Amino acid sequence: MKIFSTVIVFVVFMVFSHLAGASEADDTTITITGQTAGVTPFISQLTLTASDTTVLKSIQFTVTPKPTSVTRPLSGTYSNDYLISRGFEQPPALEILLPVYGLYDGYANTVTLTYRFLDGSSKQDSTTITTAIFDDPCGYKNPTIVQARTNNTDLSYDYIMVKGACSTSSPAIIDTDGALRWVGTTGFSVITATFFDNAAYLAHGPQLYRIELDGAFTLLGDYSGLGVSDFHHNIDRGKVGVILEADTATYVESVVIEVDALGKALKQWNMADIISAAMIAGGDDPSQFVYPAPTDWFHNNAVTYNRADDSLIVSSRENFLICIDYETSAIKWILGDPTKKWFQFPSLRQFALTLAPGSLPPIGQHAVSVTFDQNILVLDNGQESGFQSPPGEQRNYSSPRKYKLDLNTKIATEVWNFEMGQSIVCPFCGSVYEDAPLNYLIDYPFVNGVVAESMSRLLGLNAAGETIFSYQYPTTGCNTAFNSIPLHLESTKFPVVGPQALNLSTRGTVSGGDNALIGGFIVTGTDPKTIVLRALGPSLSGSGLSGALTDPVLSVYDSSGTVIATNDDWQTDIGAAFMVNNGLAPTNPSESATLQTLAPAAYTVAVTGKDSTPGISLVEIYDLSPGSNSKLANIGTRGSVGMGDGALIGGFIVGDVASATVVVRALGPSLASLGVSEPLSDPTLTIYDVNGSAIASNDNWQDDINATDIQQNGLAPVNALESAIVLHLPAGAYSAIVRGAGGGTGVGLVEVYNL
């Protein structure tokens, strides 16, 4: 069952037809006049000549995969404003320089260009870019194939950033077919890198560089003025920008710094100071545990930000995972091996989480991250402490592990590990990351332990737990494949569209009185937001739905309750031509739609049946300006919850890159205080991904493991029978289904909050 399949098709803004008469696509001539090889064979620059650039909205390039490829095509879309800002277009000149990246080296690449215009029209052209052969000292181009990429298309990611100091072309990007598709251009051999804001970020000494996908790079900052002598291990996503792990003259591997996309230092945490203060407050002597440089007492190797509770989770290979409050630096919890030295101090032991029976603690762990269901994921290397004594447990294997934390009972339960890992010895480095729910990328930098000749292994798992690919590369230590991360380069947009929750649709029953379908949303930020609102009915019958609303009517209200727009039949709306040109026109003339540009504020959209006719309707909101300085936030829809097809179904999209943390709620009993008669007495909530797989559910919100996070964000329902879930979701489409417990019926409210 694909809960979302009836609406997801409308997200693609391709033009298949336009109204009679000439369009801007018809009137504008764009010609590919040349191409220039880039700084690496994976990059080229096309020269275009346009008869008019002022009507151009964007240009998209798509690299056609090789015939045997299973991956989705690599594609990038440049807005016209972005091309101008980067100097690739200089009005009033009619020449455009278009960077194309992700090409296969030593190959005749077919590249398709899609030109989109301001009136919604578009057209395509194609060309061939033949590239030189890249000399690859790391062996990324010729992996040992343990298992070739299967033709299973369920894997959520198709591209991987591999970090290695095996060449001066670090980092590298490969696809899951095993083909090399991009390399760094700074000339540095380092492993400390990440992908952020549509660019590679790479640290060298105390400096941070940004490498554009088109090969250009800039020095963002030199942090020696902050006392930094070197950056090491990971660059991880932070609250605002990225988090760097620093060595200073005072402390080794125990200082972390967050910087924004332009390299400005935002905040700094010194784990030596934080832990020393906690130990002193608890009556212990920190000099017995915390040591100045050159002692590697902490060995920080990863940090992750948890938006649900505004905290940092820091991995100390020597000691534990430690969670601190982002603003105050107060310690919230510690998860680690109780046979290590840290557990001997009561001041630290008071923060310790207890392991549930059958759960193993993480030791020598790397690559801490937060999964879609707010669990903690690490690559447990199995390595004891190298400096602290007692050193704790030593295992003869390494394995990814996922932990569910109950902070009320202070219990950590291991809920998943990778059994195959129990045959692999990888005492240092390594990573595991979750992309879409239960889709993993596992990196063992060396699979035979620290030996003269070892192999790095990259392995991908889909949500069914199937191994989709497994590749090995010769390596010395961690130099070939350190902390590899999944990437999404199949639809990159310039400028970047940040992660946000976008409400796409809610389906419910429309009848009289309180049973109208009512959607509420807030536009936040500073810019007006352009949206299309639709109310569908008759066309739902084609999806096998019985009892569809025959003639929906849509009305939009501002926060004062004043009607600011209404529509009965979509073809009468002033934005009808735009909707046709952008593939957003309803298929039935009796359905409703309106194009609106709304200032930041709260709004309500109500769907009723013409002449009070009841039936099932679908109300939708399409964000046409996701890259602006405004967002759709705090989105909800109220409607009748019935049996079978009468469930209240809310659909939302997390787009366009990275991930977003959301709270989804289903309310019922509390609606009575708002004057709603017959509210749903006991709502249940289930979240589905785009494949129709249930990824989370809740009946009573206080039973959710993350109930504390819901409360801390001020989103706790007022009634214990109402439902709420916290989810950390990657880009994609999701559905929230509201039903009544025990088959109950009534009026319910489904809401999505973007934290």
Do residue 48 and residue 176 come from a single domain?
A: no
Q: Which of 60, 95, 130 finishes a domain?
A: 130
SS3 698: strand
Residue 655 located in a structural domain: yes
pLDDT of residue 14: 27
Residue 414 located in a structural domain: yes
Q: How many domains does the chain have?
A: 3
Characterise 678 by phi-psi region: left (phi > 0), alpha (psi -120 to 50), beta (else).
left
Rounded alpha-carbon distances, angstroms, from residue 42 to 294, 392, 487: 42, 47, 17
Residue 340 located in a structural domain: yes
Contact 254, 260 (CB under 8 A): no
The segments of the chain whose pLDDT lies below 50 read 1-20
Beta-carbon contacts of residue 335 (< 8 Å; ≥ 6 apart): 320, 321, 352, 353, 361, 362, 376, 403, 405, 412
Q: What are phi and psi of 201, to 5 degrees?
A: -110, 130
d(C-alpha 481, C-alpha 618), whole Å: 47
Do residue 425 and residue 522 come from a single domain?
A: no
Q: Which of 456, 488, 520 finishes a domain?
A: 488
- The neighbouring-strand residues paired with 524 are 631
Do residue 15 and residue 44 come from a single domain?
A: yes
pLDDT of residue 1: 36
Rounded alpha-carbon distances, angstroms, from residue 145 to 106, 470, 612: 21, 6, 64
User: What is the share, in percent, of the chain residues with pLDDT greater than 90?
Assistant: 64
Q: Which of 449, 464, 488 finishes a domain?
A: 488
Contact 37, 88 (CB under 8 A): no
Rounded alpha-carbon distances, angstroms, from residue 725 to 255, 338, 495, 594: 34, 32, 31, 32
Residue 136 located in a structural domain: no
The DSSP letter of residue 412 is E
Do residue 291 and residue 356 come from a single domain?
A: yes
Do residue 596 and residue 615 come from a single domain?
A: yes
Beta-carbon contacts of residue 497 (< 8 Å; ≥ 6 apart): 626, 627, 655, 656, 657
Domain of residue 435, residue span? 144-488
pLDDT of residue 348: 98
Do residue 406 and residue 503 come from a single domain?
A: no
Do residue 481 and residue 350 come from a single domain?
A: yes
pLDDT in tens, 57-112: 999 999 999 998 999 999 999 999 999 999 999 988 899 999 999 999 999 999 99
H-helix or E-strand spanning residue 82:
helix 80-85
Contact 161, 195 (CB under 8 A): yes
Contact 296, 283 (CB under 8 A): no
pLDDT in tens, 644-679: 777 888 777 776 656 788 899 999 899 888 888 888
C-alpha Rg value of the chain to the nearest Å: 27
Pairing of strands 411-417, 354-355: parallel
Residue 135 located in a structural domain: no
Do residue 339 and residue 423 come from a single domain?
A: yes
Do residue 175 and residue 247 come from a single domain?
A: yes
Contact 618, 505 (CB under 8 A): yes
CATH, residue 17: 2.60.40.3100
| Cβ burial 395-416 (10 Å sphere, 16+ → b, else e) | beebbbbbbbbbbeeebbbbeb
Residue 236 located in a structural domain: yes
pLDDT of residue 41: 98
Do residue 57 and residue 166 come from a single domain?
A: no
Residue 137 located in a structural domain: no
CATH, residue 531: 2.60.120.380
Do residue 332 and residue 402 come from a single domain?
A: yes
**Nearest C-alpha neighbor of 206 from the set 222, 189, 190, 186:** 222
The CA-based diameter of the chain, rounded to the nearest angstrom, is 81
Query: What is 220-260 written as a DSSP string?
Result: EEEGGGGTEEEEEEEEEE-SSSEEEEEEESS-SS-EEEEE-
**Nearest C-alpha neighbor of 634 from the set 520, 491, 509, 508:** 520
pLDDT of residue 439: 95
pTM: 0.87
Residue 697 located in a structural domain: yes
Do residue 48 and residue 150 come from a single domain?
A: no
pLDDT of residue 15: 30
pLDDT of residue 641: 83
pLDDT of residue 127: 98
End-to-end Cα spacing for the chain: 29
